[in-house]
Structure 1
Amino acid sequence: MKIATWNVNSVKARLPNVLTWLSDAAPDVVVFQETKTVDVDFPRFEFEALGYHLEIHGQKSYNGVAILSRHPLEDVLIRLPGDDSDEQARYIEATVKGVRVAGLYLPNGNPVPGEKFDYKLRWMKRLHARAQQLIATEQPVVLTGDYNVCPEDIDVYDPVAFAGDALCQPESRSAFRALLNLGYTDALRVTKPQGPAYTYWDYQAGAWAKDNGVRIDHMLLSPQAADRLVTCAVDRRPRAQEKASDHTPVWCELTD
């Protein structure tokens, strides 16, 4: 099973690029972040024409997540539990052929300090609670998406410049490590334990051409999923296209 994550930065604006990548890469399951559209306007037909089942959780102009699968989606959960007042569309879960796939768009948190950073940390605390519940089921779990966290200095092209950024704050990194301490595996670091593996490049200052990137899109696997891991990689090709998202896909392959 090939599972992918991609912050598409507006599914309608990037639709030709996204459809081309899906046809070429052919993931069995993919989760999108920042779809930036209400559910009724999501381009469902185009994805169904490629053979995908869809579950979507959107909002106007901001956020938005979706999960697409070539196999039926079961036991769908929309919204991260723990705060009924949080209406931001940032989380979706479903089971695909016995694998629980959770797609998330974690808050950015800037500026620091401030309410947005406080919200980020509260959201990560709720994510930890949900991740703990999922790992207790002892089923294969893939907890993936845009975490808006650079786990280590190697995951950012200029650690000094990013020292004050919410992506690199000690509290953000500590909350990410707490997920790993539950027993999750950072899939990309299994196949690439050393060196940078960027997943995001800003549109400004020629960041893509200079390879001034950060790694903020992650695939965390429960022990049962990690035991089935074949490989995990960043696909840089979509970032080089015209009208590209500022993120690029990350994918992993699990044995059946």
Structure 2
Amino acid sequence: MTDWKAATFNVNGIRARLPVLLEWLDAQRPHLVCLQEIKCQDKDFPESAFSEAGYRAVWKGQKSFNGVAVLSTEPPDQVVSEAGDEILDSEARFLAVKTRGVWVINTYVPQGRSPDDPAFAYKLDFLKRTARWIASHFTPEDPVLWTGDINVAPDPLDVFDPQRLDGKVGFHPEERKLFQEILSWGLTDLFRHLHPEEKQFTFWDYRLPRSVQRNLGWRLDHMLVTRPLVRAARDCFVDTAPRTRPKPSDHTPLVAVFHLEDLAG
């Protein structure tokens, strides 16, 4: 079996970003891609463009906001579009699929606005409920990948200025503490596991002048994996190329490569 390549990419509007995304798919040829913030209703999802590129698509859309999708080179064995949870299902932010024996949970976690806004408590609740859903359906010995725009920079290495940004949404102590609690169930932050000292980002704010050139970024997009996928992992890397293209998303893809024959240990 060849290596299996999975990716996550917050596209910030799938129709606006379609040329960038198709170009990237052709260059990287991942087997599976989780997309967030597609910002379109179900009827407007550009399924035919992905079919022509060799991908099957499942998606959960919402007018103007949010939205998640999964592209794969083969149809998933199972799809869960409703978690059975009032928070996870209240907006188009959750989509899970099973493929090649791996369960992939794709989430677009709310940004949270500011620590004193009710949206911040909603964000924390969303994270807790996703972790609870995973724990109720799987064990740490099942091959599980929780990925997407998780909207938390877990460590000082994950933001461009940890002193100035400490306490801001996305790098708030309460979020970072919760992130570590979630990992303690049996998940590993794969990029940090494989690159313990590397300062690499997945998001650069449009509002900061020349943020990409100055590397004023955050690592907000993650691959959180159970032990079997840690064993099977060959690489996890950020591909900055799409963020440098014309009319880019403010995020860029995070990619992981697994040798699935190693899942059994």
User: Which of 100, 103, 108 matches 1:100?
Assistant: 103
The letter for the 2-side match of 1:245 is: S
Verify: 1:211 aligned to 2:240, yes or no. no
User: How many equivalent pairs are there?
Assistant: 256
Residue 84 of structure 1 and its aligned partner are, at CA, apart by: 6.0
Alpha-carbon distance between aligned partners in 1 of 2:189 and 2:31, rounded to the nearest angstrom: 20
Greater mean deviation of Cα atoms: 132-141 or 194-203: 132-141
Unpaired segments of 5 or more residues in structure 2?
261-265
The one-letter code of the counterpart of 1:178 is E
Whole-angstrom CA distance in 2 between matches of 1:101 and 1:23: 22
User: What's the secondary structure of 1:183's corresponding residue?
Assistant: coil
Q: Give the aligned partner of residue 228 of structure 1.
A: 232
Which one is further off, 173-182 or 57-66? 173-182
Residue 242 of structure 1 pairs with residue 246 of structure 2: yes
Q: Tell me which residue corresponds to 2:263.
A: none
Q: How do 1:111-130 and structure 2 match up within 5 A? A: 111-130=114-133
Q: What is the aligned-residue RMSD (CA, Å)?
A: 1.4
Alpha-carbon offset, residue 203 of structure 1: 1.1
1:18-61 Cα deviation digits (max 9, x unpaired): 00000110000000000000111000000011111111001011
* CA–CA distance in structure 2, aligned partners of residues 90 and 254 of structure 1: 25
Deviations 1:122-156 (A, max 9, x none): 11110120221344273211110001001011100
TM-score relative to the length of structure 1? 0.96
Bigger shift: 35-44 or 158-167? 158-167
Deviations 1:56-94 (A, max 9, x none): 001011000000111221221114443268521101000
Distance 1:190 1:162 in 2: 23
Q: Distance in 2 between matches of 1:52 and 1:17?
A: 16
User: CA separation in 1, counterparts of 2:141 and 2:151?
Assistant: 27
Looking at structure 2, the residues matched to 74 and 175 of structure 1 have their Cα atoms a distance apart, in angstroms, of 31
Query: What is the Cα deviation at residue 110 of structure 1?
Result: 1.3
Q: In structure 2, what is the Cα distance between the partners aligned to 1:79 and 1:162?
A: 35
Cα distance in 2, alignment partners of residues 79 and 174 from structure 1: 28
Q: Is the contact between residue 80 and residue 90 of structure 1 (CA under 8 Å) also seen in structure 2?
A: no
Partner Cα distance (1:163, 1:85) in 2:
27
User: In the aligned structure 2, how far is the partner of 1:169 from the partner of 1:118?
Assistant: 12
Residue 161 (structure 1) aligns with: 164
TM alignment of 1:35-74, pairs within 5 A: 35-74=38-77
Query: Which of 250, 257, 261 does residue 253 from structure 1 map onto?
Result: 257
* Structure 1: stretches of 5+ with no match in the other structure: none
Match of 1:30 among 28, 33, 40: 33
Secondary structure, aligned partner of 2:85: coil
Give SS of 1:12's match: coil
* 1:149-195 Cα shifts (integer Å, max 9, x gaps): 01011100012322231101111111111121011111101221103
Distance 2:31 2:41 in 1: 24
Percent sequence identity is 38
Question: Is the contact between residue 36 and residue 108 of structure 2 (CA under 8 Å) also seen in structure 1?
Answer: yes
1:140 and 1:225 in contact (8 A); partners too: yes
d(CA) in 1 for partners of 2:240, 2:169:
24
Distance 1:207 1:33, change over 3 A: same
Indicate how the Cα distance of structure 1 residues 33 and 230 shifts in structure 2: closer, same or farther if over 3 A, else same: same
Aligned equivalents of 2:120, 2:246: Cα separation in 1: 32
SS in 2 for 1:208: coil
Tell me the distance in 2 between the aligned counterparts of 1:68 and 1:253: 16
- 8 A Cα contact 1:79 1:89, kept in partner: no
Whether the aligned pair in 1 keeps the contact of 2:88 and 2:94 (CA below 8 Å) is no
Give the corresponding residue for 1:82. 85
Instruction: Measure how far apart 1:235 and its partner are.
Output: 0.3
Residue by residue over 1:215-240, the C-alpha shift from the partner in whole angstroms, topping out at 9 and shown as x without a partner, is 00000111111111111000011111
